[in-house]
Chain A
Amino acid sequence: MTMTNRRALLAGLGAATAAPFVLPRRALAASDTIRVGILSLTSHAPALIAAAKGYFKEQGFEVKLVMFQAAQPMAVAIASGDIDFGMTAISGGLVSLAQKGAIRIIGGALQEHEGIEGQKILASKKAHDAGLKTPADLKGHSFGLTTAGSSFNYMADMIAKKSGFPASDMRLVPLQKVPAIIASLKSGQIDAWSIVPNIADALTKGPEVVEIGKISDYIPDYQVTTVFTSARIADTKPEIAKRYIAALSKGIDDYNNALVYKKADQAEVDAITKIIHQYVYSDQPLEKAAPRIQHGAMLCNPGAALTMSSVKSQLEWLQGANMAPKDVTLDQLVKTGYVKTL
């Protein structure tokens, strides 16, 4: 009687003492809601796949996807604490928020790789007919941007640098939104632009736009987009960031296998396409959206690996062009240790 009692007591004690080590994970997990910022672009597929296939749940996350119209408000929303994770290109705004101690880059996503579909340089038919045949001819032409300090601005400057003329010899035209740039390029009001392959190929199918080059020829190993989170999570809650990267990495693998390496079977490709279609081209029927989603996917770095040299080059360019505060260091911008750096 006493024995059993003691045993029961011990067992009870054991359970009680074990609880803090075992349960917290789950207890925390139950309340661990993370909010992930999403743009309606194929490049955000890894997070969509991770959410749909339950990879976040495996890590104990309850995930909430928050749609944005542009990358800039997404970065600001992380700074304001409305969302926890996002993915976007390195821009002046992102660096400025990092300098103010609001956000950190913790990983890499889309990157230019030799031999894999990458961003393309486009010219309007009008400009092409008038002699704009290669990116080296861009001198004296206009080039579309969303805003100053955006990745488009970076690409334009890098093309100019490599071609041996100052970027000021191009007329950089800020148009705020991608649809506005597309309208301007199609109607020949701007001469050139650069954009991810799936949008580029859709455009060059029409008679108004011609491809004149590849970005990877001008910016090798260009880290196009990065994974970022709030400074609070990156600096004080490494556990959450680690688990997020782990879940995202599984999504990245699925995305790469299905759409980039094309190693997955048709059923898997269809499943992935269906997941992406909920957020991308969702205004079109699946049959029509599927080729657009599947075509021209850029490689997303496995394990969200980050190419530091490219980040450094982009930061230096932003600072040199006066589009980011001069006193930001790479350490302020990037929190290393979560992913492999290349």
Chain B
Amino acid sequence: MRDTKTEIRIPADAKPVPFRGGGFRQRRHPLLAPLVLAALLAIWWAGSATGVISPIAMPAPKDVIDAFRDLWTTGALWTNLSVSLYRLLVGWILGSLLGIAVGLMIGLFSQARASALPIVSALFPVPKIALLPLFIIWFGIGEGSKVATILFGTFFPTVISTYAGVDAVDRGLIRMGQSFGLRWSSIVRKIILPGALPAILSGFRISFSIAIVLLVAAEMIGAQHGIGAYILMAGSLFNLGQLFAGVILLSAIGLFGSWLIGLAERRMLDWRQ
């Protein structure tokens, strides 16, 4: 006989098991970020207005707004932004393409790994800013040295993320490709590249940030326009309003870039989640 009904008697001293599973879980608080930002802005504004925050330590919000208005009305915003974006994109795209190519070589050929990897590892940590005087001689004070600074800065991390991505591709998948008699080029194109893509794309996030950092360094050399040159000039004139405006622009470029990369990840890696 089967009993589908189970009745239990609860003794008088029975207590619920104490719950211990709380915390350590990230929840969404969509309102918190804007609130914190607004609070910080309010403190900043009040501090500057009352003189608690010295004008040497921080510009008043009004100075920053004025700087933005000047940028807008004089058209300098577009001049600076367009030359900077040009340098950023050309340097970053070339650096990334070269980096992917070299990273693939290192990942695929043991000769390339043995010869190029030590050089890459040795040059990666060299601050490219230290090489600026050399870049002037090699690439001139025109666009060449600016693009080259960003290119070199983004090349090395891309090489490393690419070859690490190739290394991380499941060997079982490559063996599968071989067992089905796939051509070498097909294995690279259809198995290794897509397998390394997540690592390459997350490398892009890092290299894009590096590119923005290096933009300021690149525009130290003979740049009359550009966000980096604007920031440097504001710094040397001790115009903190302009300095902040420039920094905000850089950070906006960074946010936009990482949003674009996130979009690319969602499009290209839709198989993941």
A/B interface sample: 26 pairs, CB < 8 A: A72-B238, A79-B56, A91-B236, A92-B237, A92-B239, A93-B235, A96-B238, A97-B238, A100-B55, A100-B238, A146-B236, A147-B237, A148-B237, A149-B233, A149-B236, A173-B141, A174-B220, A174-B232, A175-B141, A175-B220, A175-B222, A176-B221, A180-B132, A184-B222, A187-B137, A323-B237
In this assembly, does A190 line the interface, its C-beta being within 8 Å of a C-beta of chain B?
Answer: yes
Chain A residues with CB below 8 A from B229, complex form:
174
Q: Given A180-B132, A190-B141, does the pair A174, B222 have CB atoms closer than 8 Å?
A: yes
A93 to B133, CA, bound (A): 25
Kindly list 13 other residue pairs between chains A and B, CB separation below 8 angstroms, not including A147-B236, A176-B232: A72-B238, A93-B238, A94-B238, A100-B54, A146-B236, A147-B232, A171-B224, A174-B222, A174-B223, A176-B220, A180-B136, A187-B136, A190-B222
- Which among A72, A97, A173 is the interface contact of B222 at CB below 8 angstroms? A173
Q: What is the distance, in angstroms, from A84's C-beta to the closest C-beta of chain B?
A: 16
Q: How far is the CA of A148 from the CA of B233 in the complex (A)?
A: 6
Residues from 115 to 147 in B contacting A, C-beta threshold 8 Å: 132-133, 136-137, 140-141
Interface residues of B in 43-60 (CB under 8 A from A): 54-56
CB B154 to nearest CB in A, in angstroms, measures 22
State A175–B137 Cα separation when bound (angstroms). Answer: 13
With A97-B56, A149-B233, A184-B141 as contacts: A92 and B238 at CB distance below 8 Å: yes
Q: Given that A79-B56, A175-B220 are contacting pairs, would A183 and B238 also be in contact in the complex, using a CB cutoff of 8 Å?
A: no
- Residues of chain B within 8 A (CB-CB) of A122 are none
Please give the number of chain B residues whose Cβ is less than 8 angstroms from any Cβ of chain A in the complex: 22
Across-interface contacts of A189 in B (CB, < 8 A): 136, 140-141, 222
CB-defined contacts of A132 to chain B, threshold 8 Å: none
Docked Cα-Cα span, A148 to B136, in Å, equals: 19
Top 3 closest A-B pairs, CB basis? A92-B237, A147-B236, A96-B238
| Residue from A102, A172, A184 having most chain B Cβ neighbours under 10 A | A184
CB distance from A79 to the nearest CB of B (A): 5
Assembled-state Cα–Cα distance A174/B140 (Å) = 14
A76 interface residue (CB < 8 Å to B): yes
The reply to whether B221 and A180 contact each other, CB–CB distance below 8 Å, is yes
Give chain B's interface residues, CB within 8 Å of chain A: 54-56, 132-133, 136-137, 140-141, 220-224, 229, 232-233, 235-239
User: B221 and A93: CB pair below 8 A?
Assistant: no
A179 within 8 A of B: yes
C-alpha gap A171/B225 in the complex (Å) = 12
Contact at B56–A172, with CB atoms within 8 Å? no
Interface centre among A148, A174, A175, A323 (most CB of B within 10 A): A174
Rounded to whole Å, the gap between the CB of A326 and the closest CB of chain B is 12
Chain A residue contacts of B239, Cβ below 8 A = 92, 96
Residues of B near A149 (CB, < 8 A) are 233, 236-237
Known: A97-B56, A100-B56, A189-B141. A174 touches B233 (CB 8 A): yes
A172–B229 CA distance with the chains assembled, in angstroms? 13
A-side interface size class: 20 to 34
Q: How many angstroms from the CA of A319 to the CA of B56 in the assembled complex?
A: 20
Alpha-carbon gap, A184 to B223, bound state (A): 13
In the assembled complex, which residues on chain A have CB atoms less than 8 Å from the CB atom of B140?
Answer: 189
A177 proximity list for chain B (CB < 8 A): 220
A148 partner residues in chain B, CB cutoff 8 A = 233, 236-237
Smallest CB gap from A182: residue in B: B133
Does A80 lie at the interface of the complex (its beta carbon under 8 Å from any beta carbon of B)? yes
- Residues A183 and B237 in contact, CB atoms below 8 Å apart: no
Contacts of A146 in B (CB 8 A): 236
Question: A212 within 8 Å of B by Cβ?
Answer: no
Residue of A nearest to B229 (CB): A174
* A222, B11: Cα distance in complex, Å: 100
Judged by a CB distance under 8 angstroms, whether A111 is at the interface is: no
Q: Which residues in A have their C-beta under 8 angstroms from that of B55?
A: 100
Task: Report A-chain residues with C-beta under 8 Å of the C-beta of B133.
Answer: 179-180, 183
How far, in whole Å, are A150 and B232 apart by their CA atoms in the complex?
12
CB distance from A317 to the nearest CB of B (A): 13
Does A300 lie at the interface of the complex (its beta carbon under 8 Å from any beta carbon of B)?
A: no
How many Å lie between the Cα of A269 and that of B18 in the bound state? 87
In the complex, what residue of chain B is closest to A94 when comparing beta carbons?
B238
Closest A residue, CB atoms, query B217: A176
Contact call A80/B233, Cβ cutoff below 8 A: no
A260 within 8 A of B: no
Interface members, chain A 90-143 (any B CB < 8 Å): 91-94, 96-97, 100, 102
Interface string of A49-87 (1 = CB under 8 A from B): 000000000000000000000001001100110000000
Distance to closest chain A CB from B220 (angstroms): 4
**Complex Cα–Cα for A147 and B132 (A):** 16
Measured CB to CB, the closest approach of chain A to B222, in angstroms, equals 4
In this assembly, does A39 line the interface, its C-beta being within 8 Å of a C-beta of chain B?
no
Interface residues as binary, A322-342 with B (CB distance below 8 Å gives 1, 0 otherwise): 011000000000000000000
Instruction: Compute how far the CA of A189 lies from the CA of B137 in the bound complex, rounded to whole angstroms.
Output: 8
